[in-house]
Amino acid sequence: MSSASNVSIDAYSEKATCERLLWVHRWTDKLLSFRTTRPAGYRFTAGQFARLGLEIDGQVVSRAYSITSAEHEDVLEYYAIIVPGGQFTSRLDALQPGDPVWVEKLSYGFMTADRFSDGRQLWMLATGTGLGPYVSILQQPEVWQRFEDLVLVHGVRQCAELAYADKFAQLRQQAAAQGWPARLHSLRCVTREAVLPSSPGLLAGRITDLLRGGQLEQAAGLSLTVDDARVMACGNPEMVTEVRELLRQRGMGPLRRAGGGQFVTEDYW
């Protein structure tokens, strides 16, 4: 996600609408999800991000956040980390329901599942709040109908940071009830806490180390191959860069607008 920018309120109002904060859920003291009203006519594709603005000292400070809500919902939800001393997130942390939040009229980004034209498996790798795009993507019925296997891999430092587990369980139940064919494999990777061997889907280590060593494929019961796997990676730039290299070593290439390619990535910082 890009860094914050400061503009005058009058200038920003030309490209954004003033919405209202509806709801805040705190996962930890540094992680939260929040919802705003949705601007009339606002459209986005699951996996894209919005630019939000907050009024600070007479100016609007803006920052990009991936949308975690489904495309059809009448509200917009986001997943954020509070950066100590951060101009935008310090203000965000203090907001209460009813407070104003500016939402730019356009959505942005190209990390969307509909860009893949083939493949049987969709692998979604994330660290931290890079999970956000996948929360939205997994709420789209066509993703469950398009792929045979959906592999969600979330890397965090501590177990308390493993957000949205109930949402993913709910989506798995909904898929079964609706007869959607895909199977959801949820793999959670923790780097700074001990992991019990009996914990299903819980792995110890960095995503890239587990990808390199084959543990991710073993845990999913699948092989990540050029023919079958399509991969999305979102999160820490170091992780994303390393994932790209590991996938290239397997003969994979990035998605191209002209077609072809097996993976797409997006940095979060």
Q: Report residues of the chain scoring pLDDT below 50.
A: 2
Which contacts (CB < 8 Å, 24+ apart) does range 166-172 have? 167/135, 168/138, 171/138, 171/139
The one-letter amino acid at 120: R
Residue pLDDT, tens place only, 191-208: 999 877 667 789 999 999
- pTM as predicted: 0.94
Q: Which residues contact 106 (CB under 8 A, 6 or more apart)?
A: 15, 51
DSSP code, position 246: H
Residue pLDDT, tens place only, 160-171: 999 999 999 999
Q: Which has the closest alpha carbon to 78: 17, 139, 126, 133?
A: 133
